[in-house]
Amino acid sequence: MLYHIVQASNDLDFGLKAKAAFYAAICPIKDLPRVILPTGNTPAPFYAALRNDPTNKPFHYLQLDEYHGLSADDPILFSNWLARDVLDPLNITNRMIFNSADDPASEIPRIHQWYRENSRVDLAVISIGENGHVGFNEPWTRFDSLAHMEEMTDQTWDTNCKYTGREVPRKVITLGMAELKLADQTILLVRGEKKAKILADALTGEITPKVPASYLQLQRNVIVIADAAALSRMPS
């Protein structure tokens, strides 16, 4: 197994360690680095650390996942969330984002086309759902799946409604496992006891689409940034 675990002592430390791993991954890259970034609660300390650091190496942001069917200015869109939290403060202007309101019959092929033409992904920063989902690749999504539409499970949908305080669409657009696997380096961010079991399953259990994050056992260059609670069920 090729992953390396970095334990953080608190949220501030988590953010700083994630930021250090992030810049260590992208600073050596000569072309504009292409970077997938997640939304959710987990990366919040990481984004705070990025905002507070003047290093600000430019990169090309690649969207991981998005709600379907909302207008482009809806504040709950993940693209707008990331813009507020990271991309605008860091002045990141190159953005490959999904068009939530567009017909999936044209939007999904547009994403496939983009990845056919730009097949290099330098870094994927991801977090993990309690059921092992990555992006919106829910359990049993095939490891060779391309970007596609998904229907959230009830558990994922509940979590997502809590982000916004309102009912979010159940239909979502997500990069597939195949695009995630393109990443030359991957940083997995995990915080909290609620993720402890699935983290242990993903990193040390069977490699199976039932636990989408278990694909990480087959990836090269994986760094896991996690707090003690998230690591509490890892075998010693």
Q: Is 137 designated active site?
A: no
Site for ligand GLP in 21-60 (CB under 6 A): 38-42
Binding-site string for ligand GLP from residue 116 to residue 145, where x marks contact by CB under 6 A and - marks none? -----------x-x-----xx---------
DSSP secondary structure of the chain? --EEEEEESSHHHHHHHHHHHHHHHHTT-SSPPEEEE--SSTTHHHHHHHHT-S-----EEEE-EEESS--TT-TTSHHHHHIIIIITTTT---EE---TTS-HHHHHHHHHHHHHH---EEEEEEE--TTS-BTTB-TT--TT--SEEEE--HHHHHHHHHHHTSPPPSEEEE--HHHHHTEEEEEEEE-SGGGHHHHHHHHHS---TTSGGGGGGG-SSEEEEEETTTTTTS--
Q: Which residue is nearest to ligand GLP (CB)?
A: 40
Looking only at the bridges linking them, the beta strands covering 222-227 and 3-8 are parallel
Is residue 100 part of the contact set for ligand GLP (CB under 6 A)?
no
Is residue 155 part of the contact set for ligand GLP (CB under 6 A)?
no
Is residue 65 part of the contact set for ligand GLP (CB under 6 A)?
yes
Q: Is 131 designated active site?
A: yes
Residue 19 identity = K
The active-site residue, picked from 60, 65, 80, 137, is: 65
Residue nearer to ligand GLP on the CB measure, 27 or 124: 124
Q: How far is the CB of 202 from ligand GLP (least distance, A)?
A: 13
Q: Is 41 designated active site?
A: no
Q: How many residues bind ligand GLP (CB under 6 A)?
A: 14
Is residue 64 part of the contact set for ligand GLP (CB under 6 A)?
yes
The active-site residue, picked from 138, 150, 201, 227, is: 138
Q: How far is the CB of 60 from ligand GLP (least distance, A)?
A: 19
Is residue 212 part of the contact set for ligand GLP (CB under 6 A)?
no
Q: Is 133 designated active site?
A: yes
How far is Cα 224 from Cα 41, in angstroms, rounded to an integer? 16
Nearest to 233 by CA among 206, 202, 194, 197: 197
Residue nearer to ligand GLP on the CB measure, 41 or 119: 41
Q: How far is the CB of 138 from ligand GLP (least distance, A)?
A: 9
Indicate which residues carry an active-site annotation. Answer: 65, 131, 133, 138
Interface residues toward ligand GLP, by CB under 6 A: 38-42, 64-65, 127, 129, 135-136, 156, 159-160
